[in-house]
């Protein structure tokens, strides 16, 4: 089996239409709707894919490293950088005073200094930059920042947690408040009520390629910045502001990232700015590549949150009124926290109709890293607490949480307006749920698990179903625009450039598929070039899962312009009408005649037909009133659902994921192989957030979990042995490219089912407990034991627990053995 076949096989076996059949339906060379490998797959696995640090260094290249703050909050009393300057290999040490333009790299508010000037606001904040002959020498010199003599501080009071910030009313932005109906009255009058608190931790993006920038000075005050960034246009802009230059002096280029996950949406800026500053001052190329620990210490993460909630509900578990306060840890500056909090507000409903609801989101200002975008962008933090609430409601009523969820689903034609006023027009929750419940065998397994638990005193199993509804579009409407350039060369080969960035998600592959499909060419005839601000101007970040929606449409627009010109020429040469010209299988046909694509292109060149075009797209329908928090922020919704089964050890708090079944809606998939990869990856990444990844700051505000030794991301061995992922057969109700749906972020919410399956297993250990298990996220073994303790269920000693865990099997006759942990 060759490589392409392997992809096709995987896509086909996961429940999508067999790719070869799809291809047959669309012509043998079909480039769209088929599971083609990632455009760089071969380069990824051979190690040839060039990341920013792999770009051949120019003669004279220097290396930068950052000197970091030792305090969470302090006034800088004095700096004596002589020792740093005289360290081996050092050419210069730069501080805020060396910045010619604006000392800011904040994306929205200007509250993010590139280098701290008078005050440090978190432990790890860059205070100075060392420029040296090698990466190693720069790092050694920068480490002198740890000495008491280099920077003298006067420590100030630090606020470290969202709870402290909330108590002190210290926010980076005013609170957001959305209310509909009369939730207080509805809750008061409801036959049943719940009230509680919940907390979820943050999450480090842990892109495999860390933050890196390489700045090359050019003639006439020019600067070329290679940056590992989701947002080249913003890097261009902040570098220009920092240098006091117009934007056209600066070019930012990014061929690919080794992952971004939101962490390079805004926070690549500091690295791009420092590299460019040093390149400007020293007039030599300068590279800044953050070491993993520095990356952890400097950059922001997913916002952790604490919640207070309350709900009133009827006998079926249907919510009559609900209120929630979501206190997010923003960190020391605003960054993207306003938009993150807005998305949290707009995802509290998740899949459920809330007639009377009150949602408050707080962006708590703390002396910690400035939290930022991370896959889901506040959506997961909004929806998770709703799922926890529904789970608690079900336990109080002694009903299956699945039934309570379904009872609260959005309706069709009724009960279909979100708290923020957008009507849910494309609701597929019911059929998607039925489909998944069928093949995941949920009801039978629920019974089997109850029988198992009745006989098993130490190991307890849990099962949970959770749905996802995720809004697609930037929730800041003007960001929903994109541009592309398509060049057809004389030989018929095609080059595409668009404003999106490739971070492993397969955007370039999808955009190339769209263009190849327009010209009826096999994918190999289309090449995508590096993202470059001198090609497409004023781009948005590749974020909000909109990369292929936006850039795919822009590229389609450009390709269609060229195709129309070619069609006119073909009709002139072969007879017939331009509208009847077909582009397929590398040929152009009309009026019974045919010619190869490249022949038509050659003729078009001689006839002086323009063979390249720009393209543009702006998402229709989206609007938003930031004052009332209402509008139509999302073009459409993506849906999905998952069933997860776990087993926990009630003595040690260890647990294992036995089986996962996922049905996810990617619309009509442009590339089912890539989309399945996104669903699997998003699921495991979200599972890491909710179970093993724990950020921990000590009392001084020092992040102690700043490397893989202490911060545990999931490994391949944490994927469940039975991991059944299928794409739901569906077409986007809106005319997106190929009627596909965005797939980058929504799957991150699917592993809510893992967290709630763990909660289910804990509940099984204390069936008589009056309340639902008080399980916090991440559900580490400690958290699981704490929840068990709180339910007063110490369990019995079981000497053979390890072997008991490793022989556990999913409730049904699972297809595969569970992996040992
Ligand atoms: N997949 C990979 N392999 N690497 C990434 O960094 N980022 C995610 C998601 N999938 C990411 C990824 C995030 S946060 C987003 S917003 C989308 O991809 C962005 O790409 P898209 O809009 O083209 O889907
Ligand atoms: N997602 C990602 N980035 C953003 C968004 C969003 O919804 N809104 C503004 N920036
Ligand atoms: Mo993704 S968090 O929108 O970069």
CATH number at residue 613: 3.30.365.10
Q: Clarify whether residues 353 and 407 are in a common domain.
A: yes
pLDDT for 10 equals 40
Q: Clarify whether residues 150 and 280 are in a common domain.
A: yes
Q: Which H, E and C letters describe 296-314, residue by residue?
A: HHHCCCECCEEEEEEEEEC
Candidates 310, 556, 654, 745; catalytic one: 745
Q: What is the whole-number distance in angstroms between the Cα of residue 75 and the centre of ligand 1?
A: 38
Cβ atoms of 777 and 581 within 8 Å: the answer is no
Q: Clarify whether residues 588 and 670 are in a common domain.
A: no
Residue to substitute in 339, 372, 503, 742 for testing ligand 2 pocket (most ligand atoms within 8 angstroms of CB): 339
The verdict on residue 798 lying in a domain is: no
What is the number of domains present in the chain?
3
pLDDT for 769 equals 86
The verdict on residue 18 lying in a domain is: no
In tens, the pLDDT along 116-148 reads 999 999 999 999 999 999 999 999 999 999 998
| 3-class state of residue 275 by DSSP | helix
Does the beta carbon of 543 lie inside 6 Å of ligand 3? Answer: yes
Give the residue among 535, 525, 670, 548 at the shortest CA–CA distance from 598.
525
Burial of 786 (0-12, 13-18, 19+ CB in 10 A): middle
Q: Clarify whether residues 602 and 467 are in a common domain.
A: no
Q: What is the whole-number distance in angstroms between the Cα of residue 264 and the centre of ligand 1?
A: 11
Q: Clarify whether residues 604 and 718 are in a common domain.
A: no
Q: What is the whole-number distance in angstroms between the Cα of residue 746 and the centre of ligand 2?
A: 14
The verdict on residue 803 lying in a domain is: no
Can you tell me the distance from the alpha carbon of 674 to that of 727, in angstroms, rounded to the nearest whole number? 11
Domain end position, chosen among 721, 743, 764? 764
Q: Clarify whether residues 370 and 294 are in a common domain.
A: no
Beta strands in 42-137 (DSSP E): 62-68, 74-79, 90-94, 119-120, 126-132
Cβ atoms of 264 and 211 within 8 Å: the answer is yes
Give the structural domain span for 574: 481-618
The verdict on residue 138 lying in a domain is: yes
Q: What is the whole-number distance in angstroms between the Cα of residue 135 and the centre of ligand 1?
A: 29
Q: How far is CA 192 from CA 12, 314, 320, 404, 424, in A?
A: 47, 6, 10, 13, 28
Q: Clarify whether residues 282 and 329 are in a common domain.
A: no
pLDDT for 30 equals 82
Domain end position, chosen among 298, 315, 342? 298
Give the residue among 666, 772, 777 at the shortest CA–CA distance from 729.
666
Can you tell me the distance from the alpha carbon of 491 to that of 400, in angstroms, rounded to the nearest whole number? 63
Q: What is the DSSP string of 347-386?
A: TTTTTB--SSEEEEEEEEE-SS------TTTTHHHHHHHH
Q: Clarify whether residues 110 and 249 are in a common domain.
A: yes
Residue corresponding to tokens 């399980």: 775
Can you tell me the distance from the alpha carbon of 679 to that of 257, in angstroms, rounded to the nearest whole number? 19
The verdict on residue 630 lying in a domain is: yes
In tens, the pLDDT along 547-577 reads 999 999 999 999 999 999 999 999 999 999 9
459-472 and 636-649 strand pairing? antiparallel
Query: Is 745 an annotated catalytic residue?
Result: yes
Helix (H) or strand (E) holding 692: none
Ligand number nearest CA of 263 is 3
Task: Find the helix packing angle between 429-440 and 442-455, rounded to 10°.
Answer: 50
Cβ atoms of 261 and 713 within 8 Å: the answer is no
| 3-class state of residue 496 by DSSP | strand
Q: Clarify whether residues 640 and 733 are in a common domain.
A: yes
Ligand number nearest CA of 500 is 1
Torsions phi, psi for 321 (to 5 deg): -160, 145
Ligand number nearest CA of 745 is 1
Residue to substitute in 254, 265, 266 for testing ligand 3 pocket (most ligand atoms within 8 angstroms of CB): 265
Domain end position, chosen among 593, 618, 643? 618
pLDDT for 598 equals 98
- What is the 8-class DSSP label of residue 802? H
**Starting at the edge strand that comes first in sequence, how are the strands of the sheet with 587-590 ordered?**
582-584, 587-590, 593-596
Ligand 3 atom 4, closest CA:
262
Ligand number nearest CA of 300 is 3
Q: What is the whole-number distance in angstroms between the Cα of residue 483 and the centre of ligand 2?
A: 18
Atom of ligand 3 nearest to the CA of 264: 4
Q: Which H, E and C letters describe 459-483, residue by residue?
A: EEEEEEEEEEEEEECCCCHHHCEEE
Total Cβ atoms within 10 A of residue 681: 18
Residue to substitute in 338, 340, 623 for testing ligand 2 pocket (most ligand atoms within 8 angstroms of CB): 340
Q: Clarify whether residues 218 and 351 are in a common domain.
A: no
The verdict on residue 432 lying in a domain is: yes
Q: Clarify whether residues 657 and 749 are in a common domain.
A: yes
Over the range 174-213, which residues count as b (16 or more CB within 10 Å of their CB) and which as e? eebebebeebeebbeebeeebebebebbbbbbbbebbbbb
Torsions phi, psi for 308 (to 5 deg): -125, 130
> Residue ranges of the chain with pLDDT lower than 70?
1-29, 792-821
pLDDT for 29 equals 67
pLDDT for 28 equals 54
Ligand 2 interacting residues, C-beta cut-off 6 A: 265, 336, 339, 343, 373, 377, 474-476, 479, 543-544
The verdict on residue 8 lying in a domain is: no
pLDDT for 487 equals 98
Structure tokens at 748: 């991150």
Can you tell me the distance from the alpha carbon of 67 to that of 92, in angstroms, rounded to the nearest whole number? 13
pLDDT for 806 equals 53
Q: Clarify whether residues 700 and 607 are in a common domain.
A: no
Q: What is the whole-number distance in angstroms between the Cα of residue 426 and the centre of ligand 2?
A: 22
Atom of ligand 3 nearest to the CA of 373: 2
Give the residue among 533, 543, 500 at the shortest CA–CA distance from 225.
533
pLDDT for 811 equals 63
Torsions phi, psi for 402 (to 5 deg): -55, -45
The verdict on residue 799 lying in a domain is: no
**Starting at the edge strand that comes first in sequence, how are the strands of the sheet with 526-528 ordered?**
526-528, 494-498, 481-488, 612-618
Ligand 1 atom 12, closest CA:
505
């Amino acid at each position: 089996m060759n490589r392409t076949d392997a992809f096709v096989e995987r896509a086909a076996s996961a429940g999508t239409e067999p790719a070869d059949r799809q291809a047959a339906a669309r012509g043998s060379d079909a480039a769209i709707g088929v599971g083609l490998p990632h455009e760089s797959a071969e380069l990824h696995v051979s190690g040839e894919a060039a990341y920013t640090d792999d770009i051949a260094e120019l003669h004279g290249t220097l290396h930068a490293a950052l000197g970091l703050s030792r305090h969470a909050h302090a006034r800088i009393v004095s700096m004596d950088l002589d020792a740093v300057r005289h360290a081996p290999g050092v050419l210069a040490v730069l501080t805020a005073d060396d910045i010619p333009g604006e000392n800011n790299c904040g994306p929205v508010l200007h509250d993010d200094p590139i280098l701290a000037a008078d005050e440090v606001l978190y432990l790890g904040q860059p205070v100075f930059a060392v420029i040296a002959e090698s990466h190693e020498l720069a790092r050694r010199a920068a480490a002198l920042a740890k000495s008491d003599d280099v920077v003298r501080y006067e420590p100030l009071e630090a606020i470290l947690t969202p709870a402290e910030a909330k108590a002190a009313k210290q926010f980076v932005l005013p609170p957001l408040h959305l209310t509909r109906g009369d939730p207080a009255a509805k809750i008061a009058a409801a036959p049943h009520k719940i009230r509680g608190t919940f907390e979820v931790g943050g999450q480090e993006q842990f892109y495999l390629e860390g933050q890196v920038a390489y700045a090359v000075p050019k003639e006439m005050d020019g600067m070329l910045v290679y940056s590992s960034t989701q947002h080249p246009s913003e890097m261009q802009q902040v570098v220009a502001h920092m240098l006091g230059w117009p934007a056209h002096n600066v070019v930012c280029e990014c061929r690919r990232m080794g992952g971004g996950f939101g962490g390079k949406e805004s926070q690549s800026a500091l690295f791009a700015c420092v590299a460019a500053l040093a390149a400007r001052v020293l007039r030599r190329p300068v590279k800044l590549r953050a070491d993993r620990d520095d990356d952890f210490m400097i950059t922001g993460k997913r916002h952790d949150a604490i919640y207070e909630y309350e709900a009133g509900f009827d006998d079926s578990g249907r919510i009559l009124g609900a209120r929630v306060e979501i206190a997010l840890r923003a960190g020391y500056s605003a960054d993207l926290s306003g938009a993150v909090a807005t998305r949290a507000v707009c995802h509290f409903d998740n899949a459920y109709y809330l007639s009377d609801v009150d949602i408050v989101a707080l962006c708590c200002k703390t002396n910690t890293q400035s939290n930022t975008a991370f896959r889901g962008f506040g959506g997961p933090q909004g929806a998770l607490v709703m799922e926890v609430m529904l789970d608690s409601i079900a336990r109080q009523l002694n009903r299956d949480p699945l039934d309570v969820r379904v009872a609260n689903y959005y309706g069709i034609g009724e009960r279909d307006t979100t708290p923020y006023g957008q009507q849910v027009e494309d609701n597929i929750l019911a059929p998607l749920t039925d489909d998944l419940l069928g093949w995941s065998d949920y009801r039978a397994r629920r019974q089997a698990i109850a029988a198992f638990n009745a006989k098993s005193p130490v190991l307890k199993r849990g099962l949970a179903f959770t749905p996802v509804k995720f809004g697609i579009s930037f929730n800041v409407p003007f960001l929903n625009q994109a541009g592309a350039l398509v060049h057809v060369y004389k030989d018929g080969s095609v080059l595409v450039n668009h404003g999106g960035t490739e971070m492993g998600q397969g955007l370039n592959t999808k955009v190339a598929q769209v263009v190849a499909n327009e010209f009826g060419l096999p994918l190999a005839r289309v090449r995508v070039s590096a993202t470059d601000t001198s090609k497409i101007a004023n781009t948005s970040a590749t974020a909000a899962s909109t990369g292929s929606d936006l850039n795919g449409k822009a590229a389609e627009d450009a390709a269609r312009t060229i195709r129309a010109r070619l069609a006119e020429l073909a009709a002139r040469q072969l007879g017939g009408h331009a509208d009847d010209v077909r582009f397929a299988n590398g040929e152009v046909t009309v009026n019974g005649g045919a010619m190869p694509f490249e022949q038509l292109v050659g003729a078009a060149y001689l006839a002086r037909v323009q063979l390249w075009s720009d393209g543009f797209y702006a998402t229709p329908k989206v609007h938003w009133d930031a004052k009332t928090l209402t509008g139509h922020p999302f073009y459409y919704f993506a849906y999905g659902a998952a069933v997860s089964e776990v087993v926990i050890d009630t003595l040690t708090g260890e647990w294992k994921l036995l089986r996962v079944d996922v049905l996810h809606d990617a619309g009509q998939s442009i590339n089912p192989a890539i989309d399945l990869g996104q669903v699997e990856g998003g699921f495991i990444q979200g599972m890491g957030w909710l179970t093993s990844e724990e950020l921990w700051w000590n009392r001084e505000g020092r992040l102690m979990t700043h490397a893989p030794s202490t911060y545990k991301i999931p490994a391949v061995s944490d994927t469940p042995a039975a991991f059944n992922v299928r794409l739901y057969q569906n077409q986007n109700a809106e005319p997106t490219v190929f009627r596909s749906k965005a797939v980058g972020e929504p799957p991150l919410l699917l592993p809510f089912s893992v967290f709630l399956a763990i909660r289910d297993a804990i509940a099984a250990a204390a069936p008589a407990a009056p309340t639902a298990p008080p399980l916090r996220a991440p559900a580490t073994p400690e958290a699981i034991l704490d929840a068990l303790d709180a339910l007063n269920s110490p369990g019995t000693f079981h000497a053979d627990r390890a072997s008991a865990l490793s022989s556990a099997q999913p409730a049904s006759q699972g297809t595969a053995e569970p992996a040992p942990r």
